[in-house]
Structure 1
């Protein structure tokens, strides 16, 4: 970590420090969502609902692979930031080397175990006879490329953890730009359809991973990818896993919830699944902006937790106010132009109506999902493993029974509204735990009390 990054950790006003850490992350995540939206848009121009359905059905698989990257990346990243706050720079090298090689091994294990089971996985994702071939094509490429995808998410996290927020952003944007260019080629020039889209994702992640590895190897003072620094000590494993495992479980629950949600939507036809796929991608834009804000400040909170708790308090308070403002702005925009947004992806009037309705309902919980992400980030940054674990399962435990009940009571409308109910319950759980832990984390948490 160079002196400029250390300066932002310790010296500059909180608002400026948050901007330094969060704005690049927000831009990077928003670019990722723009890619996801363009992905659906490009496939939508082929007027093949089965392809759009396959794209929606494979979201849980991508969530699981991403979860493995975040397991190592978030666990190692928050540990690295705390170590930097304690000025234990040699330990940082050991943790970063561990993160690099363990993420590759995890990806290889996923590929080796899953490829022989690919037909079972595709059926498990809910593919129908119409979408089976397209879904299998996407799944096959993603499984082959899983070591690369896991590595990408790991490296992005640890680069950001040392304060190199702009470098982290450049890597994410590089991945998105390469992805979009390749998408245009594979869809409109080579006509590879879904298999081309999946290949573009893997290749773009590879390009960004190489970029991050070069940064770590040549520009980072404390991070390393050198095998000679690799250690898997009890201290490293416990600190990485107590935060990484809850992050992984949360991602798995999100993937499982998406899978279960798709199962319920399939009852109402492929159009319902496609409408949810489109609307969820549009919803990802403001959600990822808020996620970028909350995840961007995690290194700052983690560093301040070991170095300056008063600065942590100010960071949390400013982030809370920013979430509120952004949620209101995005909500107003969506309610004004939702039909036009859905209409960018399809001319099917039923898809437009269903997609617009899903957007209206799910946007009701935008603020509380932003706050839930902030709560989770605070628990991760301050090494509150139990609280992070509870947050990781709260939404899933709530959503599953609510889905069954709401589907029986209100059909399609109940399925959509179940998302808002689960988000609200998760928010309450996080707020209660934050209040309970406030004495332990003082003076960082009383700003929210």
Structure 2
């Protein structure tokens, strides 16, 4: 970390917004996209090295991973948001205290969640839509991930805190190192050692151990204003409450995502069987890759918006927001066109199983319609989290996932007799409705802000 922490904070307040977005968002985008790209390549390895049913087994584990990530974001993203706001206000001691409480909370929550899921694993997997054919694949993959949950939890949380403390490049380096090692180990474990789908999870865990050691080392460097100190390793109830309050929006969003995934998989099984589940697994990986770019952009914007909001620099907050939304929409519209034009060759990368391929191509082309509106909805929702308004963020996330999408998943296939096509169509339709509402809420916030400034 060549630049001092104080220089980083001065840049957040004074440097041009465009330059800051490049500095913070590009590493965060690469960070998120690389992780998602690994997951996508992992599915390609599994599909070609183990089989089409293994992809279906992997898809059934998605809700469990969503739940694990939900608890991780409760602490990691909450801690990052609070850190950015605290540093904007010059509260360096509080930022240090946040770091230590994130570690304590992470250890406790990761052990509890991993153990509870493991004790009820078969019941959970059957509930999520696993059949007897794909249960062994799902179980093999997820058991190892559950035992390694504390490692995953701490690595992701501390990596987020690196960005919140003004070091996005170091966060990117740790991610690239972890994913790069993972990409080397996965084909070795699957194709050379013939460990099947289990090999994919083993390589993930080994890579995250290396990543965690790297991040911990960075937070041990004493010349940084925020670093590990023995006297701060004590649980602070009030501070932990603040962390979880700000982390609640992404926590609820990921829990909602898990609920949606469960509903989708169950409807896929009902209308299309195991191969429909596998096709959903493929489409969701592709969807996740593109959406992670937007989430990465939002994460990169977070310290910029959070710091300037804390410092009372409203114009800089608005400029960062407007620029971010424009970039997000342009990118996702391009990805929409790509998926409509090249759906067939994209799906063939995963499997040549005809039954699975045909369903996946249809699903990808339908779901691509959600890309442009999702970019706006995600960016605006994360804006409210960045300025410390978790309730607004929670409501917007909840409405999209629960109020609109889940009813549509069940209504469209039945009422209009669309079957499996109706399940796919429910995704873009829910996003279109939610996007309109999200934009309306943001515009209302801006009008209230303008009235407040005039009164002053």
TM-score, scaled to structure 1: 0.94
CA-atom RMSD in angstroms: 1.9
> Can you give the 5+ residue segments of structure 1 that lack an aligned partner in the other structure?
none
1:357 to 362, 381, 388: 362
Q: CA distance change for structure 1 residues 254 and 227 in 2, over 3 Å: closer, same or farther?
A: farther
Aligned to 2:441: 433
2:33 to 27, 30, 53: 30
Q: What displacement does 1:359 show?
A: 1.3
1:45 to 40, 43, 48: 48
For residues 392-446 of structure 1, the C-alpha deviation after alignment (integer angstroms, 9 at most, x for no partner) is 311221211111101212111110011112212322332232233225555999x
Tell me whether 401-410 or 342-351 shows the greater mean CA deviation.
Answer: 342-351
Aligned to 1:144: 147
Tell me whether 15-24 or 415-424 shows the greater mean CA deviation.
Answer: 415-424
Say if 2:50 and 2:197, in contact at 8 Å, map to a contact too: no
The aligned runs of 1:35-434 (5 Å cut-off) are 35-46=38-49, 48-218=51-221, 221-267=224-270, 268-307=272-311, 308-397=313-402, 398-408=404-414, 409=416, 410-434=418-442
Cα separation, 2, equivalents of 1:299 and 1:7: 12
For residues 208-252 of structure 1, the C-alpha deviation after alignment (integer angstroms, 9 at most, x for no partner) is 121111111116623334442135445413321222122111101
Cα separation, 2, equivalents of 1:146 and 1:301: 31
Say if 1:275 and 1:351, in contact at 8 Å, map to a contact too: yes
What's the secondary structure of 1:87's corresponding residue? coil
Q: CA distance change for structure 1 residues 47 and 139 in 2, over 3 Å: closer, same or farther?
A: closer
For residues 307-354 of structure 1, the C-alpha deviation after alignment (integer angstroms, 9 at most, x for no partner) is 122111110111111112112222222222111111111112333222
Q: What displacement does 1:176 show?
A: 1.0
Q: CA distance change for structure 1 residues 342 and 240 in 2, over 3 Å: closer, same or farther?
A: same
Cα separation, 2, equivalents of 1:226 and 1:395: 42
Say if 1:122 and 1:139, in contact at 8 Å, map to a contact too: no
Cα separation, 1, equivalents of 2:448 and 2:218: 37
Cα separation, 1, equivalents of 2:449 and 2:166: 22
Q: What displacement does 1:96 show?
A: 0.8
Tell me whether 18-27 or 220-229 shows the greater mean CA deviation.
Answer: 220-229
Cα separation, 2, equivalents of 1:105 and 1:299: 27
Tell me whether 283-292 or 211-220 shows the greater mean CA deviation.
Answer: 211-220
Cα separation, 1, equivalents of 2:63 and 2:222: 35
Cα separation, 2, equivalents of 1:405 and 1:45: 35
How many residue pairs align between the two structures?
A: 445
What's the secondary structure of 2:15's corresponding residue? coil
Cα separation, 2, equivalents of 1:443 and 1:21: 31
Q: What displacement does 1:262 show?
A: 0.5
Cα separation, 2, equivalents of 1:339 and 1:354: 11
For residues 262-319 of structure 1, the C-alpha deviation after alignment (integer angstroms, 9 at most, x for no partner) is 0100121211111111122122222111111112111110001011221111101111
Q: What displacement does 1:100 show?
A: 1.3
Q: CA distance change for structure 1 residues 382 and 97 in 2, over 3 Å: closer, same or farther?
A: same
What's the secondary structure of 1:437's corresponding residue? helix
Tell me whether 109-118 or 246-255 shows the greater mean CA deviation.
Answer: 109-118
Cα separation, 2, equivalents of 1:163 and 1:201: 27
Cα separation, 1, equivalents of 2:6 and 2:125: 49
Q: CA distance change for structure 1 residues 441 and 194 in 2, over 3 Å: closer, same or farther?
A: farther
Say if 1:95 and 1:231, in contact at 8 Å, map to a contact too: no
Say if 1:86 and 1:306, in contact at 8 Å, map to a contact too: yes
